[in-house]
Amino acid sequence: MRWLALVWKSLLRSRRRTLLIVGSLVLSVFTVAVLQSLLTTLDSITSNPNSGNRLAVRHKSGITQMLPRSYETFLRQQPEVETVCSLQWFGGYYQDPRNFFANFASDETTIFQTFREEFGLANLTEAQVKEYLRDGAGCIVGESLALKNGWKVGDVVPLTGTIFPINPRLTIRLIFKSSRPSDENVLHFHYKVLEEGVPRMKGLTGAFWVRVHRPEDIPRLIERVDRHFANSAYETLTETESAFNLAFVKMLGNISTIIQGITIAVVLAILIVTANTMGTAIRERGAEIAVFRAMGFSASRVLSLLLAEGVLLVGLGAALGLLLAQAAAGGVRSAMGAVMPFFADFEITSVTALLCLAGALAVGLLSTFIPAYAATRRPITEGLRSVG
Partner 1 sequence: MNANRFDLGGGEPIITLRGIAKSYWREALEIPVLQGIDLEIPVGSFVALMGPSGSGKTTLLNLVAGIDRPTCGTLEVCGHELNDLDDDELAAWRNAHVGFIFQNYNLVPVLTAFENVELPLLLTSLGRRARRERVAEVLALVNLTDKQWNYPRQLSGGQEQRVAIARAIVTDPDILVADEPTGALDAKNAEEVLGLMGRLNADMGKTIVMVTHDPKAAHHARHQIHLEKGVLDRAVEVNR
**What residue ranges bind partner 1 (CB under 8 A)?**
1-3, 6, 9-10, 12-13, 287-288, 291-301, 379-381, 384, 387-388
DSSP state of 200: G
Quote the CA–CA distance of 338 and 246 in Å, as a whole number.
Answer: 19
Distance of closest approach, residue 298 Cβ to partner 1, in angstroms: 4
Closest CA to 177 of 118, 100, 101: 118
Closest CA to 57 of 82, 81, 79, 75: 75
Distance of closest approach, residue 257 Cβ to partner 1, in angstroms: 45
Q: Which is nearer to partner 1, 12 or 163 (CB)?
A: 12
Q: Which is nearer to partner 1, 2 or 98 (CB)?
A: 2
Instruction: For residue 299, count CB atoms less than 10 angstroms from its CB and return exposed for 0-12, middle for 13-18, buried for 19 or more.
Output: middle
Neighbouring residues of 214: CB distance < 8 A, sequence distance ≥ 6: 53, 80
Distance of closest approach, residue 343 Cβ to partner 1, in angstroms: 46
Quote the CA–CA distance of 308 and 236 in Å, as a whole number.
Answer: 62
Distance of closest approach, residue 385 Cβ to partner 1, in angstroms: 9
Quote the CA–CA distance of 260 and 67 in Å, as a whole number.
Answer: 38
Q: Which is nearer to partner 1, 228 or 378 (CB)?
A: 378
Neighbouring residues of 356: CB distance < 8 A, sequence distance ≥ 6: 29, 32, 33, 36, 318, 321, 322
Q: Which is nearer to partner 1, 9 or 152 (CB)?
A: 9
Cα–Cα distance list, 288 to 11, 292, 385 (Å) = 14, 6, 11
Distance of closest approach, residue 289 Cβ to partner 1, in angstroms: 11
Distance of closest approach, residue 277 Cβ to partner 1, in angstroms: 17
Q: What angle do CA 289, 293, 297 make, to 5 degrees?
A: 115
Q: Which is nearer to partner 1, 49 or 388 (CB)?
A: 388
Amino acid at 134: R
DSSP state of 201: G
Distance of closest approach, residue 378 Cβ to partner 1, in angstroms: 12
Q: Which is nearer to partner 1, 11 or 87 (CB)?
A: 11
Q: Which is nearer to partner 1, 286 or 321 (CB)?
A: 286
